[in-house]
Amino acid sequence: MSAIDPATLTVVHRRLKAITNEMSLALLRSARSAILSEARDFVTAVFDAGGRLLEQTEHIPVLAYALPPAMERVIQFFAGEIHPGDVILHNDPFTGGNQCADVKVIKPVFHGGRLAAWVAISGHQADVGGAQPGAYNPGARTIFEEALRIPPVKLFEAGRLRRDVWQLIFGNVRFEELVEGDIKAAIGGVTVGERAYLELLEAHGEEKLRLYTDELIATTERMMRSEIARIPDGVYHARTIACHDGFDPAAQMPVNLHLTVTGDEIGFDYAGTAPQTQGYVNSPLSATLSSTMLSLLMCLDVRAMPNNAGRLRPIRISVPEGSMLNPRFPAATSYGNHLADQISAAVFQALAQAVPQQVTAGWNPTHSALLVGSDPRRGKPFVDILFMAAKGGGGALHGHDGYDHIGSIYTAGGVRAQDPEMFEHANPMLIHRYEYAPDSAGAGRWRGGYGVRFEMEFLAEVDYISVIGDGTVGAARPFGLFGGQPGCLNEIELVGPGSRRHRVAAKEVMRSVARGTRWHQTKAGGGGYGDPRERPREAVRREVQQGLISLERAAQDYGFSPGSLADEPSR
């Protein structure tokens, strides 16, 4: 075997990362929807011919480790039938997918007549058919009410467009022009990846590149094992609660975790988790695997670690079939990505028993909305997700306050808030307020991150709103650690013409919402870490002066005497 040159190994690693970045830029610059072009709700990846992950760029981390199971099923399904110029589409949660709206576009890379690699993009689409627009249907009891289910299928075969397949798929999708545009952008992105990987092959040759990618994966595995070995051996247990199954607002479904560390390996056993629900609050297995991985990686130092299959090798994940985290066909599953809230909370609470200085307190749970209607300014439909209003606070960490305005854990800060002016340009809405929410952060020696307060006015009737989320009741508040306080609750209220008020549930569908209605939303802050009475008084004083902490909460949570801060000069 040839000796590995460290400099060449670094060059190969950086080039693989650059390929996934180039694919991302191609998609960002050509996508039609704000979901991809602004919020960056997608992931790009390169796999070897056998389906091993070589590198990825995960703008939304919960999508990252959901790609390998889909890639595995695609390879199995098309074994012996892959040709240069093929483009494969896939979204099915029961054949390796994670969410129907997260559509995979996959392209094989051939070199010298042989399959050399795969390039893939998974991105959230504005619509994928089903009974309701946008693929978030709280009333769904099976996948058939959620979306057009797409097991692996070729859009292009040997470079030729399959017009019949294209028309079949997009004939069953709303907002056809928008979704077609985004899929075409993804096809362009994987084509950029294919060309870039071929350049890498030409530079190094197949045999040498295989040698170096093998070494990259082995090196990553060693780094991952070294990180896990720093966690004390033991069995650690945690239990968290998901609320509202889509039908019953009072439903509470536990996520039960036994986490076992043995040497340089770690196991996650979800036995005892709630059975699959009657509604869409179920996580396909690939989404559960990805949520578990992103939660673990947030507790480790992976800054210098390549993002390839080596990270997965020391990990064992067991999820009972028929549970909420591994439902049986044909369960509804479109909420599954967002169960990362409860999965991460369980992982963090379990690891807090072993490595208390490496975990964060609870992050703000998902609470967002999909809005669909017709824009009278253009005579065209609009569809959008309120990413700005969804940017709550992160949990505090030993030594650090939580991140403000970062978003829910499944994005881990990856989702971008839309530009307010672009949002108003794209949608018939007027933003009246968009700011940090006072008293939203959990108090602590290190406080949680601040959530947001968002208010907008509908300038046209909105045909359909699907609210998705959790955290509107106490059982699902962002938890504090080691004396830290929980973050606030999520809350949405609509104020209609005539001042009619409606408190919106965690999961709810609303139709024909009148022009002039105002949307008031508070997105939760993160949980605090440590005793709030130990927080530096100057830090509390400064945030009171900035209007982020009320005098009442300063007294209640941090022990300041009433009135002691009112006349302090601002600095």
Instruction: Please report how the helices 206-229 and 6-30 are oriented relative to each other, as an axis angle in degrees rounded to 10.
Output: 90
Which amino acid is residue 347, in one-letter code? Answer: V
User: To 10 degrees, the CA torsion angle through 14, 15, 19, 20?
Assistant: -20
Predicted confidence band of residue 566 (pLDDT cuts 50, 70, 90)? low
* E-strand stretches of 287-392: 315-318, 367-375, 380-385
Q: Dihedral sign for Cα 319, 320, 324, 330, please.
A: positive
Residues making up the chain, counted from first to last: 571
Cα gap 304→18, rounded to integer Å: 15
Which amino acid is residue 443, in one-letter code? Answer: A
Structure confidence at residue 1 (pLDDT): 47
Place of tokens 């059975």: 275
- pLDDT for 475-497, tens place per residue? 888 999 999 999 999 999 999 98
Mean of pLDDT values over 134-145: 90
pLDDT greater than 90 at residue 35: no
Is residue 433 in a domain?
A: yes
Count of CB atoms within 10 A of residue 187's CB?
Answer: 20
pLDDT greater than 70 at residue 570: no
Is residue 427 in a domain?
A: yes
Q: Which of 235, 366, 354 is nearest to 300 (CA)?
A: 354
Contact by Cβ (8 Å): 139, 131:
yes
Question: Counting Cβ atoms within 10 Å, is residue 170 exposed (0-12), middle (13-18) or buried (19+)?
Answer: middle
Q: Of 566 and 264, which is predicted with more confidence?
A: 264
Mean of pLDDT values over 527-556: 95
Is residue 13 in a domain?
A: yes
- pLDDT for 183-195, tens place per residue? 999 999 999 999 9
Mean of pLDDT values over 130-150: 91
Where among 188, 222, 256 does a domain terminate?
A: 222
Predicted confidence band of residue 561 (pLDDT cuts 50, 70, 90)? confident
pLDDT greater than 90 at residue 25: yes
Structure confidence at residue 117 (pLDDT): 98
Is residue 248 in a domain?
A: no
Spatial neighbors of 373 by CB under 8 A, at least 6 apart, are: 381, 382, 428, 460, 461, 462, 463, 464
DSSP 177-196: HHHHHHHHHHHHHHHHHHHH
- pLDDT for 79-95, tens place per residue? 999 999 999 999 999 99
If DSSP states are collapsed to H, E and C, what string results for 465-481? EEEEECCCCHHHCCCCE
Q: Which of 411, 491, 397, 488 is nearest to 444 (CA)?
A: 397
- pLDDT for 291-345, tens place per residue? 999 999 999 999 899 999 999 999 999 999 999 999 999 999 999 999 999 999 9
Contact by Cβ (8 Å): 93, 66:
no
Chain mean position to CA 531 = 31
Cα gap 209→198, rounded to integer Å: 11
DSSP state of 446: B
Question: Counting Cβ atoms within 10 Å, is residue 458 exposed (0-12), middle (13-18) or buried (19+)?
Answer: buried
Helix (H) or strand (E) holding 19: helix 6-30
Structure confidence at residue 562 (pLDDT): 64
Range of the domain at 490: 360-535
Count of domains in the chain?
2
Mean of pLDDT values over 10-17: 97
Give me the residues paired with residue 340 across strands. Answer: none
Structure confidence at residue 560 (pLDDT): 87
Structure confidence at residue 565 (pLDDT): 61
Predicted confidence band of residue 564 (pLDDT cuts 50, 70, 90)? low
Contact by Cβ (8 Å): 124, 36:
yes
Is residue 257 in a domain?
A: no
Is residue 82 in a domain?
A: yes
Structure confidence at residue 39 (pLDDT): 81
What are the distances in angstroms from CA 529 to CA 218, 340, 355, 442?
Answer: 36, 21, 14, 8
Is residue 456 in a domain?
A: yes
Where among 171, 198, 222 does a domain terminate?
A: 222
Radius of gyration of the chain measured on its C-alpha atoms: 24
Structure tokens at 64: 């990252």
- pLDDT for 406-437, tens place per residue? 988 877 776 777 889 989 998 999 999 999 99
- pLDDT for 353-392, tens place per residue? 999 999 999 999 999 999 999 999 989 888 888 888 889 9
Structure tokens at 567: 């006349």
Contact by Cβ (8 Å): 87, 70:
no
Cα gap 565→549, rounded to integer Å: 11
Predicted confidence band of residue 569 (pLDDT cuts 50, 70, 90)? very low
In the predicted model, what is the mean pLDDT of the chain? 93
Cα gap 28→24, rounded to integer Å: 6
Cα gap 294→57, rounded to integer Å: 13
Where among 199, 222, 245 does a domain terminate?
A: 222
Is residue 253 in a domain?
A: no
Helix (H) or strand (E) holding 512: strand 508-513
Cα gap 230→247, rounded to integer Å: 43
Q: Which of 302, 366, 294 is nearest to 64 (CA)?
A: 294
Which amino acid is residue 43, in one-letter code? Answer: V
452-458 and 429-436 as β-strands: parallel, antiparallel, unpaired? antiparallel
Contact by Cβ (8 Å): 167, 160:
no
Helix (H, G, I), strand (E, B) or coil at 452: strand
- pLDDT for 43-77, tens place per residue? 999 999 999 999 999 888 788 888 999 999 999 99
Structure confidence at residue 242 (pLDDT): 95
pLDDT greater than 90 at residue 150: yes
Structure confidence at residue 407 (pLDDT): 85
- Considering the domain architecture, whether residues 364 and 218 belong to the same structural domain is answered as no
pLDDT greater than 80 at residue 563: no
Structure confidence at residue 60 (pLDDT): 82
Q: Which of 393, 385, 375, 369 is nearest to 488 (CA)?
A: 393
Is the bond preceding 133 in cis, omega lying within 30 degrees of 0? Answer: no
